[in-house]
A and B are shown apart, each in its own frame.
Chain A
Amino acid sequence: KNEVEQSPQNLTAQEGEFITINCSYSVGISALHWLQQHPGGGIVSLFMLSSGKKKHGRLIATINIQEKHSSLHITASHPRDSAVYICAVSKMNYGGSQGNLIFGKGTKLSVKP
């Protein structure tokens, strides 16, 4: 079983819809990251969170540490949101290492006009 599981794997939405992508993990973490990858490969960090909730524009990320679960929400989705969204965790490591991310398989989102 993967240490980071995402659902759904694929998601098609109509422009304007509210979108939710879920991420569950099975290890102790120091932080959880939501990443966006467009065709061509470039990865952009959307959020890094270790508790609670963060919001950037139309994007909202929440995390429940007790449940080991995080969600990424996109409000009023737009075709330019079409991309692969990847959940990744930094495993709790008392040696100070934070750069060894463990990734989910990603959610491919397509938003139709």
Chain B
Amino acid sequence: KAGVTQTPRYLIKTRGQQVTLSCSPISGHRSVSWYQQTPGQGLQFLFEYFSETQRNKGNFPGRFSGRQFSNSRSEMNVSTLELGDSALYLCASSLDLFGESYEQYFGPGTRLTVT
């Protein structure tokens, strides 16, 4: 089975621009979560999608948004980029049947640099 894939792997943007990152979950996984990792704050939860609905959202400003498509693929968007948005963005998918806890499978991440 193919793992979680994320595109692009690396991205350099300028302050004020916007960016869209993509995540394709493992086939059959319906839950996709997004995380931000920075040296200062570590790993932080951004949002979680399940069956095209945002099920939970972390403590990030409205510039961070996402969506999930009917094939479970997910995108996240960051508008009006700031220097502090430079980070590794990770997505993870899980099976998530009946609301029970399932192992999360992480993608390789997208490293975003804002200059």
Contacts and interface: CB of A to CB of B under 8 A. Distances in A.
Interface of A: 30-31, 33, 35, 41-45, 48, 50, 86, 88, 90, 93, 95-106
Interface stretch (B13-21, B76-84, B103-111): B103-111
B10 to A, nearest CB: 11
Interface of B: 31-33, 35, 37, 42-45, 48, 50, 55-56, 58, 88, 90, 92, 94, 96, 99-106, 108-109, 111
Contacts of A97: 48, 50, 55-56
A101 B33 contact: yes
Contacts of B56: 93, 95, 97, 99-100
A105 B50 CA distance: 27
Contacts of B31: 98-99
Nearest to A101: B45
Nearest to A35: B106
Indicate the member of B35, B45, B104 with the most A CB atoms within 10 Å.
B104
